[in-house]
Chain A
């Protein structure tokens, strides 16, 4: 039963006819896609379920505008990405990045990355993920999203362009700007690490 392919066009047609069961099935079908985007770009102090709820409500209220020019999951991805960016922009101030705020494990991982002295252990992965999120938290929301998709989710420029609606040149410019800012952060960290 669970292996049956989901009939998305049929489900959308029934949702347009105000079929509540179809609407529930649509939410359950798209939830993994939406929650993956939300978890990747979750702003501080925002519950992931609240953000997912906002995204699905926007999806339903804008459903009449969906023309079918792009696959429906891509259209929903754009709503999810835009909603997350709007939330990040609403926070305005980004937390200051301080060496003292890093945990012992994060400092250890960073030290290893900067000095390249030993191979990473499997236990370093969680600390590395936390550290990357702290560094990405210093970037502008749009730049952060590009780096997240490019370097963590390993999407191509074309895929990022499709899921965000930004043209490929803009994606490249944002990636370049973000990497320059990250490089500056790394240099600051290196000087603090030496001192």
Chain B
């Protein structure tokens, strides 16, 4: 066991000995207040669990969007330069001649 592990284990063992005299029971009226609020609250959507991922999902989607535009921009530019070459009237005329 490293020096840190020993120190940390000693500290947490000491912390665990601290008495917790706080009442674990619900304060008076708490359950009544909660049930009254729950009764008036709208029912949760089955998709509600996904809401916490919404922002991260948006960031990932935006990153994919930017990457897609960047990749296609390069391809479009290459295509555009090909188009210019193929529609060059001088070269077409030379080909004809």
B39 nearest CB neighbor, chain A only: A20
- Closest Cβ–Cβ distance, residue B68 to chain A (whole Å): 30
Chain A contributes a number of interface residues (CB within 8 A of B) equal to 47
A180 nearest CB neighbor, chain B only: B4
Number of A-B contacts (CB under 8 A): 119
Q: Is A151 part of the contact surface with B, judged by Cβ < 8 Å?
A: yes
Q: Is A152 part of the contact surface with B, judged by Cβ < 8 Å?
A: yes
Per-position 1/0 for B2-22, Cβ under 8 A of A: 001101111110111111101
Q: Is A39 part of the contact surface with B, judged by Cβ < 8 Å?
A: yes
Q: Is A193 part of the contact surface with B, judged by Cβ < 8 Å?
A: no
* Residues of A close to B22: CB separation below 8 A: 39
User: How far apart are the CA atoms of A194 and B73 in the complex, in Å?
Assistant: 59
User: How far apart are the CA atoms of A28 and B30 in the complex, in Å?
Assistant: 8
Say whether A131 contacts B15, CB under 8 Å.
Answer: yes
Say whether A28 contacts B38, CB under 8 Å.
Answer: no
Q: Is B65 part of the contact surface with A, judged by Cβ < 8 Å?
A: no
- Closest Cβ–Cβ distance, residue A118 to chain B (whole Å): 12
* Residues of B close to A52: CB separation below 8 A: 30
- Closest Cβ–Cβ distance, residue A91 to chain B (whole Å): 16
Per-position 1/0 for A116-139, Cβ under 8 A of B: 100010101110110110000000
B44 nearest CB neighbor, chain A only: A61
User: How far apart are the CA atoms of A113 and B27 in the complex, in Å?
Assistant: 38
Q: Interface residues, chain A, CB within 8 Å of chain B?
A: 18, 20, 23-25, 27-28, 31-32, 35-36, 39, 49, 52-53, 56-58, 60-62, 64-65, 82, 86, 109-110, 113-114, 116, 120, 122, 124-126, 128-129, 131-132, 151-152, 154, 179, 182-183, 186-187
Q: 17 A-B pairs, CB-CB below 8 angstroms?
A: A23-B34, A23-B38, A25-B31, A27-B30, A27-B35, A31-B24, A32-B25, A35-B26, A39-B22, A60-B34, A61-B48, A64-B44, A65-B46, A113-B14, A126-B19, A128-B15, A132-B11
